[in-house]
Structure formats: structure tokens, C-alpha cells
Structure 1
Amino acid sequence: MAQDIVRLNVGGILFTTTKATLCRFPDSMLGAMFNGSMPTTKDENGCYFIDRDGAMFGHVLNFLRSSQLALPRDFQYLDQLAVEADFYQIDPLLQSIAKLKHKQMHKPSPSGRLLEVIEVRTGSTATMPTNNSRVKTIVSGRCDVIRSLPSTFIGPVDKLKHINDTDFTEIGLNGSNVRLILAEYLLREGWQVINTDLSSSSGYDSKSMISSLIIEQSYRDRWFLPVKPDNNTMNGT
């Protein structure tokens, strides 16, 4: 049955399959190519040549083999795969991609708590980024989350007693190098860094008799603490 073995060159990537697999959906372009109703092109090695995305074709071929869309968990190219499925005119694959995209769009967001830590450093070109620059660190988030932090960071909790637990607020943190020390604490407690960035601005101090460039750098860390859903709530009991 060697005549049933088909070798393909798709965008420079080689595949070996069977004619039956490629003709699984007779109304598709591949079905037309290999049932003789559409002209084909071969490369110098005798492989059928298709000038398309070879990496995406691997997923197309897997679908032809199993009639199931099985993709890696971190797959991020559904739109590109849909373009290829449309090119090959494989309607069942297009439908499976559309269902998966709809499922992903309506996937519930993970439940958890958020904190944002901002460190602002202000100083001249002569002091940045040394300890001579002025440093202010702020944490923002839900009041109950901030209140749960050690008092060494937030100081007396009395200043938060008039704020509802579910309200969002921000407070200045105590201590030096507090952003890094707090980061170590949050990591130990199971928090995850979901984003961190640095922004910078500069300008001349108009009040100073000596013209000097003032630089302000802001370090922003966003933290997330996953919270497992309550099974009773999930079951509606």
C-alpha cells in the first residue's frame, strides 16, 4: 500500500501521512487535491508542495487524523490556525476553533486578591539612584488585604479602622528598602508577581538657585494571591 503514503512539503516542513487522512473531508481543498480534481505541485524531491505555514499545518494534520482539536495548553495562535483552516476549507476544524475561542472568551477570571506596590525615587543626577535620593513607597489594594500585612510595613492599623474591608485604599509603607523586603514577604506567603514596570520623568527645579536636573523614577509591582473557590458556593448550596 505504498501508493497510499503521501509526503508533503508545507512551507519547508516535511510531513508523511496517507491519502485517506488527507481526504477525510472530501469537500475540503486537501480532499480535492488528492482525489484528482485539483492540480498539484511537487518539489525537487517529489514531495507535494503547499506554500503555507508548516507549523500550523501540523495541527491541521492532527485534526484530520483524529477529528479532534488537541492543542498545547499555552497555544496562542488560534487566529492563525483559523486562517489556515479557512484556506484548506475544513469546516469542522473551523467550527472547533470557533467553539474553543468562545470558551476561552467566557472563561471565568481566577479568584484572588490584588496588591499594587509603588516605589517613587526622586533625586538629582548626582544622587540617583543612590540612597541619597528621596524614596517613598506606597501600597494600594483592598483594605482587608492591606490590614493583613505585618505592622512593620503598615504601622498601626487604627488609621484603617474607618475604611470598609472591601473598599480600596492606599497607604505609605514604613522602612527603607521596603519594596524589596515586602516582595520577599509576599513570595513566602504565596503571592505571585503578575506585572512589574519602571517609568521615569525628569525636569529642572525652578526653585533652586543652581540649575539641576531632577529625576523621578517609579517602580510598580502588581501582585496576585490566588484564592481557591468555595465548593459550597460553586455547587449553589
Structure 2
Amino acid sequence: MEESEIIRLNVGGHIYTTTRSTLVRYPDSMLGAMFKGDIPSKVDQDGNFFIDRDGQMFRYILNFCRSGKLCLPQQFSDYDLLENEADFYQIEPLITSITSSRQNAMKESQEFNYIEIVEENLHSLYSGSLLDAFTTLDGRTTDLTAIPGISTYGKSPEILSSFYSRLTLSIRGLRLEIGEFLSKQGWIKEHSNLSFSKSSSRGDFVEKKIYREVWKICRKNH
């Protein structure tokens, strides 16, 4: 068998023309075994080698055998079908490439939205009383305005960019209230920390506590 021999294939009714060397590029695969003569092959009425598989998906299989690269069109979505075909042909590098391509496509089809909540509380170290408290929210404008009660606080978010805003409110305990709402809506707390600092003001010593939380949620791109 000459590897330069021209081979015509009928795959599920779709006709392909290639060389034997392309088909045996991965000798441990099903195609490699078929065209090395290790397993018997079928022919159709026109003398073409016949494979009873998905003819449209075979174009990606054959192109991978030619180049060693998986080339899929933009917005390709038939990963289940392609994985099934690759599993039949048992081309291990192709199976790996499909898995990687599918994972990348999933990442590109989604994005993460974030909301950062920063709560600052000022306490007198002499009396222990709360001197001041305010909460700052940073995130997408649509996410901030979707939080129940935000509009009732009487302040509009400060626009930072086309999509992002900042809202500062002099309300104690808002961080916990908003965090509870976000959790129920499927947001995940990705990060949180607490920091302290001390200073003197008007003869009093003041302790500042800063709570910082970052929440995220996955959104699908359309």
C-alpha cells in the first residue's frame, strides 16, 4: 500500500477525497487501522470506501488528520456530536483538542459580574459609641439598581463609566442586608476581609473598621 495513494471515502453519503498517508497519520486510531489493512473495509456501489458515520462531522475529523489542528467555525455548538465521532475514530489528540476547544467556548460564552461592598465604621475608643458609618457599593449600574431598597435611600449612583457606578450611603448594617440578598440571588462571596486603623480627633481616639467584600455571579454572553 502506497501512502500517496488517492482514497475516495463515502462517509454517511458525503464523498471525501484524500490520501492514504492522511488517513494513517494516527496509526493507533480507527482510521489508521482501517487503511493499514488491520481491519476489513467496506466499499459502496461506486467503489468508494464506505464508513457509516456522520458525514458532515467527518470534515473536522479529516482536516485534523491533514493538519494536526482542530479548526471549527465561529459559534460552533455541536460538541456532543463531534466528541461522539472523535470517540468512534479513536484519535486521542483530536479528543483532547475538542475538550480544550469546548472549555474555551464555554469561557467565552460567559462573564463574571462583580459587586464590591465596603463598609466603614468609626468608633470612639473612649465611649465605645459609633461616630459614623457608611457603605460604598461598586459594580455594574444594572446590578446595583436591582438591589431592593436602593432607590428608597434617596441617592443615585455615581457614574464611573458606561456600565459601572458607585453608591455611597450613610447607613449601618447595609453590608449584611445586601449580602443576604445577593446570596439568595445566586451571587457568590469571592473575597472578604476586615482591617483596623486608629487615629485621634478632637481629643478622642477613633478606631476605624473597614469591612470589604467582593461578590460575583456568572452571566452568559448573548
TM-score of the aligned structures, taking structure 2 as reference length: 0.51
Change (3 A) 1:68 1:45: same
Q: Which residue of structure 2 lines up, in the alignment, with residue 67 of structure 1?
A: 68
Secondary structure of 1:14's aligned partner = strand
- Residues 34-49 of structure 1: pairs in structure 2 closer than 5 A: 34-49=35-50
Secondary structure of 1:9's aligned partner = strand
The whole-number CA distance in structure 1 between the counterparts of 2:96 and 2:47 is 33
- Residues 75-224 of structure 1: pairs in structure 2 closer than 5 A: 75-107=76-108, 109-110=110-111, 141-142=142-143, 161-162=154-155, 165=167
Greater share of residues in strand? 2
The whole-number CA distance in structure 1 between the counterparts of 2:42 and 2:106 is 40
Rg bigger for which structure? 2
Secondary structure of 1:76's aligned partner = coil
Work out the percentage of aligned pairs sharing the same amino acid.
45
Does the CA contact (< 8 Å) of 1:143 and 1:160 recur in 2?
A: no
Residue ranges of structure 1 left out of the alignment (5+ in a row): 113-140, 146-157, 168-225, 227-237
Q: 1:32 deviation in Å? A: 0.5
Q: 1:144 deviation in Å? A: 6.0
Q: 1:3 deviation in Å? A: 6.9
Does the CA contact (< 8 Å) of 2:30 and 2:89 recur in 1?
A: yes
Q: Which residue of structure 2 lines up, in the alignment, with residue 172 of structure 1?
A: none
TM-score of the aligned structures, taking structure 1 as reference length: 0.48
Match for 1:26: what amino acid? P
Secondary structure of 1:27's aligned partner = coil
**Does residue 1:8 correspond to 2:9, yes or no?**
yes
Change (3 A) 1:3 1:111: closer
The whole-number CA distance in structure 2 between the counterparts of 1:80 and 1:57 is 11
The whole-number CA distance in structure 2 between the counterparts of 1:36 and 1:142 is 62
Match for 2:154: what amino acid? K
**Does residue 1:52 correspond to 2:53, yes or no?**
yes
Q: For the aligned residues, what is the CA RMSD?
A: 3.7
Secondary structure of 1:54's aligned partner = coil
Match for 1:104: what amino acid? A
Q: 1:108 deviation in Å? A: 7.1
Change (3 A) 1:3 1:110: closer
Residue ranges of structure 2 left out of the alignment (5+ in a row): 114-141, 158-166, 169-177, 179-220
Q: Which residue of structure 1 lines up, in the alignment, with residue 19 of structure 2?
A: 18
The whole-number CA distance in structure 2 between the counterparts of 1:18 and 1:163 is 68
The whole-number CA distance in structure 2 between the counterparts of 1:161 and 1:142 is 17
Q: Which residue of structure 1 lines up, in the alignment, with residue 185 of structure 2?
A: none
Does the CA contact (< 8 Å) of 1:22 and 1:31 recur in 2?
A: yes
Alpha-carbon displacement from aligned partner over 1:63-101 (angstroms, at most 9, x marks no partner):
000000010011111111111011001001000011112
